[in-house]
Every structure is written in C-alpha cells, then in structure tokens.
Structure 1
C-alpha cells in the first residue's frame, strides 16, 4: 500500500510494502453502482448464515439491548458468558478469553508472540488474516503448502520449523479448501514442537469433531490455542464475536495485552440470550449440513466442474474445462446479482471458486445460473 510521498517517510518500516486485506466488499457501494436494492443482492461470497431467521435474531437483539445499561462500560472479563461457554465447550472458565471477532484474537496472539526477528508458519492455502497481521509487525512468514489433495504435509511442516519460529497457524476446517484435518495429525504436530500451535476452528460446527468438545488436547498440550467464531454457524457476523481457548497462562497474558473493553455489552448480552436457544441453533446447523450435501450433489452433475468435499458452510469448486475462465463465471453470477468468491489466485487452487451454502431457493438460483453458463459454447 502506497501513501503520497509527503507521508511515505513517516510510515512504520514494516508497512511501506504492506498489502492490505482484500476480502471486504462495501455492499452499499456495490448496490449503488449496479442500481439495485440491497434486497436484490445475493451474497454467497463471505460464508454468512442464511438459515437463522433475521426477525428472530432482531427480537433477541432487542431483548439484549433492554437488559444492558449502554452508559456503562462492558464487563471486561465477560464473566457470565465465559461460564456458559466453558460448560458447552467442556473446559474451564480460566481457559477462555473473548474477542471482537476472531480477527481481534488473531491480532492479539500475533502481537503477543511475534516481532520483526521471529517467524510464523502458516498452512496454505488458507485465510489471509494470519499473514496480514504478521506482516504489520515485520515478522517473517513461512507458508507450508498442503498436499495436492489438501492433506497436511507434516514432514514439510516439521522441516520448516526454525529456531526463530514462534507460531504455527492451522485453519481446520480450512478456508478455502473446506476440509477438516484429522485429530491424529493435530496431535502429531503438537508432539513434534513446543512452538505455539493455533487451530482456527471458525467452521468447526459444520465438521466431524471439535477439539475442545471431543478431545482432551487442550488439557494435554499447553502450547495449543483454539479459536472459535459466532459469525458462521450462529449467524452473527455483524456482531463481531469470538473466543479463544488455551491454557490459563496464555489466556492471562492475552488478557493483559488486549484492549481493555474489546468485547462490547451488546455482544455479551445477545450471546447470553442466544445460549438459551442453543438447541434451536444446533438444529439450523444440521439443516445447513443437509443442504450442503444437496448442493454438492447437484453441482457434481456438471461435467465441467469438480466439487471438493466440504466440512464447512461453503463449497469449493474447480472449473475443469478450458472452454471457460473463472472471470466469466464471476461475471455471469454478478449479472444475476449473485456474489461468489474467486479463489483461483491462491496456491493449489487454479480455476477454483467458492460458494456459500444458502437456503434451497437461493441454491436453486445457483444451479440455474451454472446451467446457463456451462451450456454456452
């Protein structure tokens, strides 16, 4: 990112060649440019949740707002919420810290462990926020590619660990490859290193297992950190809420370096209300998983497309016929006011794009759009 010469010399030396995060799209700007209403736009590019009823969420939000005093600062410990999370995640309250989304926690973890002399290892292709946050403080960055079938390459990972390596980031289930790594593989990595291993489980509610709920790895390994999000499975992307689970020493240090009131009163109150409806949320998650299977099966019928198995709320698709280009796919979807995500610029993902699993009505629009595109010569 470049500033005018007047300010360039004032920048931190680590930001002079800094590449900003490019995942965001301003929806108001887009609808204004296209001359459509916001309701006409179908967003399938950010893995948001279309299954939880918006009116139901708004009712819970109104109830939460009525229960707080907005003139007072939020509880910096989020004590009541952490007590409930500990119960559902099979852990202790001292193992939990809340964050303003997992992006906030990623940033805290990186600031806690890294500096310009240290190195971070990240399994790729993956979520770009790990690299983004590390680059802001000048840390060196070591990508370790997955195998062509998207399996972990543990030998390559082990060979990449250097004396100045401090952190290893693994997204599981992984965005954008959509697969979850086996718990034995995670254990093997934790056995071979004393570096801090961060497992980003933002999509874990759609997968086979959860490390915190279904294993004892948090108790066994004091260098393990888990990240959890409410944006995907709980439909609260706009609330900005997430948490980390780790040993109490790491949690206490994270608490000491975060912004004091990083987790607002509205988020705390709303999540307390949401946990009263926990079973309803789990039912919606099961609906997403069933719809994911239906959509995968339908897209798999197209000979020009390869659908990768998914343990998330999105599907990764590869264009395997050179009659078309990814740009054509993207443009055709946009003419239908449907946003999807081009992933072809990432390693191992040539000609790949990503689509969020939505409701049946929207998914039928996706199928019809693909039919229109792929029948064209």
Structure 2
C-alpha cells in the first residue's frame, strides 16, 4: 500500500498551529482524573444552569429536519431585528460567534497581517489569527484589566487589520467604556466588540454600528438563552460589512434546529431574562461569600462568571482537590492569571456546593 507524505502536503501554517484549549466534557474529566464523586458540578464553561426556554424544547418535534435551512436566515434575522432594534440588513446569523470571528479573518486578513487583542482575554482570537497566518499582537491590560491607550498606540501599525475587544471581557468580567470604543474606532481598523455576555451586563455598543462602518458587535445565544449545544450567534454591523459576510459564509451555516430555537427563544425574552436576573443575583451572592475568604481575591464581574485569584495556595493543587470533589472550574495558563481560576455562576444549589467544597479544600492546605 502506498502512503502519501501528509506532512509534506500540509499547509505550513498548520504545522505549527496551536489548537484552542477547549473545555473537556464531563466524561473526559471524570476518566482523566479518576473522579469518584457522586455529584458533578460543572462550573467551567459559562453555560446557563437553567437551560433554554421550555418552549424551545417543546418545539423541537415540529422542526422539519429533512429540509435544508434557509441560506439567508430571513426569519431569524427578522426576529433579531425586533430584539436589537437594528435593520435586518445589519444582521448576520452564524454558527456561534466563533464563525463570525473566522469570517472576518477570511475577508480581511492575509499571512503577515497583524491582529490586536487585549490580554488576558478570550483565546479564540489568537487561535484564528494563527490559522490565518497572521501575527497576534497581545496588548496587556493594566492591573485593573482596563485598556492601556499608550500601549495600544505603540502596538498598532499599518499591518494591523482587526482589533478584538471582549466586553464584558472573558475571563476578567469587566466592561469597556464608550471612551474605549471611540478611541479604538479612531484607529481606523476593523473593531470587533465581542458582547457574548451582553444580557448579563445590560449595556451595548450595537447602537453605533450604523454610525461607524468599521464597528462590529458579535453576540451569542449560548449563555443567556441556554442554546450552547446548538451553536448559534449573530453579528451586528454596517450594511456594507453584513453584505460581505453574507456572501462569504457557507450557504447553510446555521442548522434548522438552531434557527428555529433562536426564533422561539426570542418570543420568550421576558422569561429568559428572569433567569438571567436570577444568575446575576446568584453572582453577587457568591461574590460576597468568596470575599469573606482571606486567601481569595474576587474581581468585579458583569458576566455570568467570577474570576478569583489565590493568595498563596498552589492553584493546581486546589483545582485537583476540587476535581476530586466533583467540582469543575477553569484554570488559565495566561500571563497574569497563573494563580487565578474562573467559576461560572450555576444554580443556587450548585454555587453553595462549590463554595462549601472550596472552603474544605482551602482549609486542608
């Protein structure tokens, strides 16, 4: 049998590509760490503990999965138009916000170009830059995780094509200001503002997309609407940019199940926002409780998670002990976050379980 030299045939960019550090499934973690806990509390993925609107589940049986989805996604864009207040021509629906990030790289970035992000932040921007053969230029935030304008000015160049800004930022939880947005827009690059946690923050810059043709706001239905498993998101942008993306995206990029579930979710926004408000209440309760622990610093958050920094304890030892108790949180290898973990906000019961087990683990150190 003949064997092709796969490595020789590969795109050289892929040979040195660093894959995204996605969260393993519960089953993978249980097997990897030989976890024997009868109870598993998954607080590592920023998922909605309440799930989707019940009406979404009820509607699944009615979805015609034997037919291809609408390539223009007209119905979902109309629903999003009502939700956002923007024209349907300003809206692009996607297979999660990750697809939108990928599309902007396809349209604007060629090998050798540069892309800015502000670390610590969501890792997908750097991953997609690597896939495109572009150079990611990570501009460090200050000690309070705010933007450093002087450092940004020093790092932006003629090679810069896109600037990515998460607001609220993942994993730090803080929002950017209007001053930040206007400063970044003045650099005349494509500015992608990632508002994956918009519903928890209650503030947006989507109202500026018709004023600034280089502004894009991307959002997700995963967190607030409980549709993480369906992979559906959307972007808000100028009509000029939206037309570009609609032409480049895959024709059937969003499944019929995902589109119908988005539409039904937007019919029950009030119900979903009640759950969002409950998550916010639980976030503040957990934050207040963690503040009482001397070994932990809790950062303010406008999202559905909290970033916590340990004082002296070994973060890996603490995490392993939590894993043995069936509690999953997220660690980071990012510079500046070596002693930090991120905990998603779960139900009141799950948050209490996490807090109790964390106290137990810390006392045993």
TM class by smaller structure: over 0.9
Report runs of 4+ in structure 1 exceeding 4 Å deviation: 32-39
* 1:336 correspondence with 2:325: yes
In structure 1, the partner of 2:315 is 326
In structure 2, the partner of 1:370 is 358
In structure 2, the partner of 1:219 is 210
Distance in structure 1 (CA, Å) of the matches to 2:329 and 2:320: 10
* 1:203 correspondence with 2:202: no
Q: Aligned to 1:105, what secondary structure does the other structure show?
A: helix
Once the two structures are superposed, the pairs formed by residues 82-93 of structure 1 within 5 Å of their partners are 82-93=77-88
Q: Aligned to 1:238, what secondary structure does the other structure show?
A: helix
Question: What displacement does 1:5 show?
Answer: 10
Instruction: Tell me, yes or no, if the aligned pair for 1:27 and 1:38 is still in contact at 8 Å.
Output: no
The verdict on how the C-alpha distance between 1:371 and 1:27 changes in structure 2, with shifts beyond 3 A counting, is closer
Distance in structure 1 (CA, Å) of the matches to 2:292 and 2:34: 34
The verdict on how the C-alpha distance between 1:38 and 1:89 changes in structure 2, with shifts beyond 3 A counting, is farther
The verdict on how the C-alpha distance between 1:300 and 1:15 changes in structure 2, with shifts beyond 3 A counting, is same
Q: Aligned to 1:354, what secondary structure does the other structure show?
A: strand
For residues 324-368 of structure 1, give each alpha carbon's deviation from its aligned partner in whole angstroms, at most 9, with x where no partner exists. 20011101110111110112x212223011000111111111111
Instruction: Tell me, yes or no, if the aligned pair for 2:310 and 2:340 is still in contact at 8 Å.
Output: yes
* 1:358 correspondence with 2:349: no
In structure 1, the partner of 2:133 is 138
In structure 2, the partner of 1:17 is 16
Distance in structure 2 (CA, Å) of the matches to 1:144 and 1:337: 36
In structure 2, the partner of 1:279 is 270
Distance in structure 1 (CA, Å) of the matches to 2:28 and 2:107: 36
Distance in structure 1 (CA, Å) of the matches to 2:308 and 2:36: 29
TM-score of the superposition, structure 2-length normalised?
A: 0.95
* 1:317 correspondence with 2:313: no
Distance in structure 2 (CA, Å) of the matches to 1:154 and 1:61: 46
Aligned residues: 363
Distance in structure 2 (CA, Å) of the matches to 1:256 and 1:134: 21
Instruction: Tell me, yes or no, if the aligned pair for 1:28 and 1:38 is still in contact at 8 Å.
Output: no
TM-score of the superposition, structure 1-length normalised?
A: 0.92
For residues 100-144 of structure 1, give each alpha carbon's deviation from its aligned partner in whole angstroms, at most 9, with x where no partner exists. 001111111111110103111111111111111111121111111
* 1:47 correspondence with 2:46: yes
Instruction: Tell me, yes or no, if the aligned pair for 1:65 and 1:266 is still in contact at 8 Å.
Output: no
Aligned Cα root-mean-square deviation (Å): 1.9
* 1:239 correspondence with 2:230: yes
